[in-house]
Amino acid sequence: MIWAQSPDRVIGLDGGMPWHLPEDLKHFKDRTLGHPVVMGRRTWESFPERFRPLPDRTNIVVSRTLDADDAAGDAVRATGAVVAADFGAGLHAASEADGLDLVWVIGGATLYEQALDVATLAEVTVIDTDVSGDAHAPALDARWRLTQADPSPDGWHTSAEGLRYRFERWERPA
């Protein structure tokens, strides 16, 4: 799983992200490039049309409605993305495309909740901002360990626009 959150786990507001942090977009690209990305329909719709599908990654969009609606589903498939009827079908499509060695679940909140049982890695960008939101990252329980923090577990980078952020890696035994 990979996401960016505020300290109180906000990841989204009104179908978008309540911050602009190019350094995090670069981090996301560096981590996910070359691997399948599985996302919910609302996350797919949050990307501007010119940016989807995300290039050089098999894009898998989990959606009951797109799966059931031929025209809407075909419009998404026409971009090169794969439509999956549920989360399990999304993972299956990812394994068909690239093998299951590394599949990224890229959100949103509903997909992270479903991925918690199978995921063993969470790349979390913590952004030091106080925002309200309507989508939240899942809580990682005691099985998860912080295995890497950049620059450090309580340190911050400062973005060109003055936003403080930290990259954390959390892992859980399979």
Ligand X SMILES: NC(=O)c1ccc[n+]([C@@H]2O[C@H](COP(=O)([O-])OP(=O)(O)OC[C@H]3O[C@@H](n4cnc5c(N)ncnc54)[C@H](OP(=O)(O)O)[C@@H]3O)[C@@H](O)[C@H]2O)c1
110, 131, 150, 169: which one binds ligand X (CB under 6 A): 110
Is 65 a residue that touches ligand X (CB under 6 A)?
A: yes
Contacts of 122 (CB under 8 A, 6+ apart): 1, 2, 3, 140, 144, 169, 170, 171
Q: Which stretch binds ligand X (CB under 6 A): 12-20, 95-103, 153-161, 165-173?
A: 12-20
Q: What's the sign of the alpha-carbon dihedral 134, 90, 114, 4?
A: negative
Is 62 a residue that touches ligand X (CB under 6 A)?
A: yes
Is 108 a residue that touches ligand X (CB under 6 A)?
A: yes
Classify 122 as helix, strand or coil: strand
The CA distance from 67 to 23, in Å, is 34
Is 58 a residue that touches ligand X (CB under 6 A)?
A: no
Is 43 a residue that touches ligand X (CB under 6 A)?
A: yes
Classify 77 as helix, strand or coil: helix
Closest CB 152 distance from ligand X, rounded Å: 22
Count CB-CB contacts under 10 A for residue 167: 18
Is 11 a residue that touches ligand X (CB under 6 A)?
A: yes
Is 169 a residue that touches ligand X (CB under 6 A)?
A: no
Q: Which two tokens stand for residue 88?
A: 């399990």
Per CB under 6 A, residues contacting ligand X are 3-4, 11-12, 15-17, 39-43, 46, 62-66, 86-87, 106-111, 114, 135
